[in-house]
Structure 1
């Protein structure tokens, strides 16, 4: 085969993969020889705010998911960014994805079971049972990390009394929380990033308890365990571990909690990560493709969304108001907007996409103030979508 015909065949194959969305995370590199642009040192903050709003509105309105082709792992990542506003198409109409699962709606990967008797009774004096989310690691359809589903729901402003329908029975968010506390000994990976996010949303940060195996636990103990895992370890370059520590520390500080050694160690780890994120930032505003380990950049825009997006999410949670308003962070947000614009219509992997969107939501809220996001639930279900179907085993 001649080199010309071979090149032509390869081009057809690559274009087919991108246009049909068969690749969950395609390479979105610029043409050979095209250099990554350098971000401007002067940033018009009003224009940045409007740009953030535009990319977030586009992502909410145009990246449509449904319960037939997509699974909980994808859908609930969208809810992380947009909370109860995030829609999913079910039986030909759009509904709130969060409300759908709370009402007992079916969704592949939302795999639950009745849990253990809880050590408290309900308002009616009846014994309560926990609600357990089953772990389905590596599927990219179900809960991939211990307590991931509760961690996401906890960031959707749900009260402990919020009801969850499952298998003909009514549970509450408090029942879900109670089961997580009882199940700590079942966390064989000793990965507590999502556990910290979930528990500190509903419990005082000094809480201690005994699980179903008789082992003593406390929130400060979970904090120390996460610090002890070491710097840069864990999912997505260690950003999830840092996000869990940051959210826990923010809530501890809001409760005027004492800075005992565990919390001091957490703050030290967070500050170290902030220093490295700034030190390793690229000239174009992108944050390191190697996260906090060393400098690095990638011409693959899909990878850039994952690395810069996760790191911006962490920074938007952990920086003080003064630090968050510094130009280097604005340059990262500006770069993230540009990558979102360049990948409009491309099939992106949901974890990276919606963590990046969440980072922009958090940055926008803290720097410019909160904003309401809206989706017209009567929108045409046949409208365009650019989310690849779930990767099923």
Structure 2
């Protein structure tokens, strides 16, 4: 058992400048003459798989971000969808965005500080200190929600002993986890969606602990707190809260965890949301622009990619395997592909864009099986890179 275990057994189209924090919301209407499928359209699943692959490959390779013009809030959303494979341009070279920050690379919004002493020692017997990701709520450059960075890193399949370079010292993912546990009383918004995603990726789902304020916490308690917030509350129509509950419940089930009242309540909330998503689905396959509250259909593709994309992400995590292949879900995935195709070349807000891409990644993996995502330079870029390398040597 790793040492840290001892501590406890959103889419709008925008001007390019929005990628560094300024937002505006011009409408983006569908191109004339390109009708989307209706409820009676029959779907060829093989063609859907190939279509998903094509839009995901375009989004990975053609939508380029860099550390000069873009910040961690934009860049790390890309890593949510593509994990370690997601590139960022830094000093003229494309590198893995996740590996860049783990190796101590600079990125606006990746704001850390040394944390508190942790109640365990490292493999070398030395006292460990936590690593704290600072909250920059509403900035659209830094961490916008408590524990968002760890939640994204946890979905990149990083080992808890993965090193994190910061200001000349070497921390680990485990040190980031330990600090999150200590800091629960600092979560004044009582928003635990990202906390649940992060902690259940590394800790048993029945874990309990005491934070730095002396308050007792547990993962089932966080689950119940999220359920108690009410249906549809929270960021992006409540989808983030539902995604956190779904990932936690999936991991609890995988651990053969007991269905105590907290987990039963979480499952009930998830099933209610699934029912409403299907009930409010539009004839063209899109999911309600009002999320789970009431029917809604927006002609603005920017809004559509945000609402349908977030809801598809939730469904791809929450539905049983056989239900994901049902026509109503396949129509939602097909619709999402169409919107991606119609917005190629348009500047899109990164949060919702990459949550929609993540929804397609998850859907593709669970319905058709996993695939590798690889960023590739264009031939001209590769030639230029080769020339630079030759000149440098």
TM-score higher than 0.5 here?
Answer: yes
Question: 1:15 aligns to what?
Answer: none
Q: Give the distance between the partners of 1:34 and 1:253, measured in 2 at CA.
A: 43
Cα-to-partner distance string for 1:114-168 (whole Å, 9 max, x where unaligned) = 0000000001100000000000001000000000000000000000010000010
Cα-to-partner distance string for 1:188-242 (whole Å, 9 max, x where unaligned) = 0000000000000000000000000000000000000000000000000000000
Matches within 5 A, 1:1-393: 21-22=16-17, 25-30=25-30, 38=38, 40-376=40-376
Cα-to-partner distance string for 1:58-77 (whole Å, 9 max, x where unaligned) = 00010000000000000000
Q: CA deviation at 1:322?
A: 1.2
The answer on whether the counterparts of 1:162 and 1:173 sit within 8 Å (CA) in structure 2 is yes
The 3 A distance-change label for structure 1 pair 35 and 191 is same
Q: Give the distance between the partners of 1:30 and 1:353, measured in 2 at CA.
A: 17
- Corresponding residue SS for 1:67: coil
Unaligned regions of 5+ residues in structure 2, if any?
Answer: 1-12, 383-393
Q: Give the distance between the partners of 2:326 and 2:121, measured in 1 at CA.
A: 49
- Corresponding residue SS for 1:177: helix
Q: Give the distance between the partners of 2:343 and 2:182, measured in 1 at CA.
A: 43
Q: CA deviation at 1:32?
A: 9.1
The answer on whether the counterparts of 2:14 and 2:349 sit within 8 Å (CA) in structure 1 is no
Q: Give the distance between the partners of 1:326 and 1:34, measured in 2 at CA.
A: 24
- Corresponding residue SS for 2:287: coil
Q: Give the distance between the partners of 2:217 and 2:378, measured in 1 at CA.
A: 47
**Number of residues paired by the alignment?**
366
Q: Give the distance between the partners of 1:216 and 1:291, measured in 2 at CA.
A: 34
The 3 A distance-change label for structure 1 pair 32 and 55 is closer
Cα-to-partner distance string for 1:81-109 (whole Å, 9 max, x where unaligned) = 00000000000100000000000000000
Q: Give the distance between the partners of 1:308 and 1:103, measured in 2 at CA.
A: 35
Q: CA deviation at 1:325?
A: 1.2
Cα-to-partner distance string for 1:20-67 (whole Å, 9 max, x where unaligned) = 745655421247999766355310000000000000000001000000
The answer on whether the counterparts of 2:14 and 2:348 sit within 8 Å (CA) in structure 1 is no
Q: Give the distance between the partners of 2:130 and 2:380, measured in 1 at CA.
A: 38
Q: RMSD of the TM alignment (CA)?
A: 2.0
Q: Give the distance between the partners of 1:245 and 1:180, measured in 2 at CA.
A: 18
Q: Give the distance between the partners of 1:193 and 1:145, measured in 2 at CA.
A: 9
Q: Give the distance between the partners of 1:294 and 1:89, measured in 2 at CA.
A: 41
The answer on whether the counterparts of 2:31 and 2:342 sit within 8 Å (CA) in structure 1 is no
TM-score by length of 2: 0.90
Q: CA deviation at 1:336?
A: 0.1
- Corresponding residue SS for 1:288: coil
Cα-to-partner distance string for 1:293-345 (whole Å, 9 max, x where unaligned) = 00000000011000000000000000000111111000000000000000000
The 3 A distance-change label for structure 1 pair 118 and 307 is same
Q: Give the distance between the partners of 1:195 and 1:154, measured in 2 at CA.
A: 10
Runs of 4+ deviating beyond 2 Å: 18-26, 30-41, 376-382
